[in-house]
Amino acid sequence: MALFSRTIEKLKNGLRKSRDKIGNSLKTVLTLGRKIDEELLEQLEEQLITADIGVETSMQIIDDLRSAWKEKKIAAAEDIIPFLKQDLIACWPERDRQLKMADQPPTVVMITGVNGCGKTTSVGKLSYWLSQQGHKVVLGACDTFRAAAVEQLSIWSKRCDVQIVKHQQDSDPAAVAFDACEAALARKTDFLIVDTAGRLHTQQNLMRELTKIRDVIARKIPEAPHEVIQVLDATTGQNAINQAKMFTQAVNVSGIMLAKLDGTAKGGIVIAIRNQINIPVKFIGIGEGPEDIEPFDPESFVEALFS
Partner 1 sequence: MFDSLTQKFNNVFRSLSGRGRITEDNVRDAMRQVRTALLEADVNFKVVKDFCESVTQKALGAEVIKSLHPGQMMIKIVNDELTQLMGPVDSRIYYVSPGPTVILLAGLQGSGKTTTAGKLAKYLVSKGKKPLLVADDLQRPAAILQLQTLGEQLGVPVHCDFDSKDPVKVAVKGVHVARSSDRDVVVLDTAGRLHIDADLMDELGRVCKAVTPHQIYLVCDSMTGQDAVNSAKEFNDQLELDGVILTKLDGDARGGAALSVKAVTGKPIKFIGVGEKLDKLEEFHPDRMAGRILGMGDVVSLVEKAQEQFDAEEAEKLQQKMAKGQLTFDDFLKQMQMMKKMGGMKDIMKLIPGIGSQMAGMDVDDGEIKRIEAIVHSMTKKERQNPDLIDASRRRRIARGSGTEPHDVSGLVKTFNQTRQMMKTMSGMGMMGRMKAMKQLGNMDMFGGKVPQMKIKQRSKRKKVDRKKKAKGGQSRSKGRR
Shortest distance in whole angstroms from residue 185 CB to partner 1: 28
Exposure of 170 by Cβ count < 10 A (0-12 exposed, 13-18 middle, 19+ buried)?
exposed
Q: Does 266 bind partner 1 (CB under 8 A)?
A: yes
CA dist 260 and 264 (Å) reads 9
Determine which residue in the list 8, 29, 49, 62 makes contact with partner 1, applying CB under 8 A: 49
Determine which residue in the list 67, 98, 133, 242 makes contact with partner 1, applying CB under 8 A: 242
Q: Does 111 bind partner 1 (CB under 8 A)?
A: no
Q: Does 145 bind partner 1 (CB under 8 A)?
A: yes
Q: Does 132 bind partner 1 (CB under 8 A)?
A: no
Q: Does 68 bind partner 1 (CB under 8 A)?
A: no
Shortest distance in whole angstroms from residue 50 CB to partner 1: 5
Q: Does 29 bind partner 1 (CB under 8 A)?
A: no
Q: Does 262 bind partner 1 (CB under 8 A)?
A: yes
Q: Is the peptide bond before 106 cis (omega within 30 degrees of 0)?
A: yes
CB 25 within 8 A of CB 46: no
Determine which residue in the list 265, 271, 284, 304 makes contact with partner 1, applying CB under 8 A: 265
Q: Does 249 bind partner 1 (CB under 8 A)?
A: no
Q: CA dist 291 to 147, 156, 159, 188, 266, Å?
A: 26, 12, 11, 25, 21
Residue type, 47: Q
Q: Does 306 bind partner 1 (CB under 8 A)?
A: no
DSSP 35: B
Q: Does 139 bind partner 1 (CB under 8 A)?
A: no
Site for partner 1 in 162-181 (CB under 8 A): 169
CA dist 111 and 3 (Å) reads 25
CA dist 8 and 300 (Å) reads 7
Q: Does 156 bind partner 1 (CB under 8 A)?
A: yes
Q: Does 288 bind partner 1 (CB under 8 A)?
A: yes
3-state secondary structure (DSSP) of residue 264: coil
Toward partner 1, which CB reaches closer, 36 or 246? 246
Q: Which among 176, 169, 104, 105 has a CA at the least distance from the CA of 140?
A: 176
CB 202 within 8 A of CB 129: no
Can you give the binding site for partner 1, defined by CB under 8 A? 17, 46, 49-52, 54-55, 114-118, 121, 145-149, 151-152, 154-156, 159, 169, 200-203, 233, 235-243, 260, 262-266, 269, 288
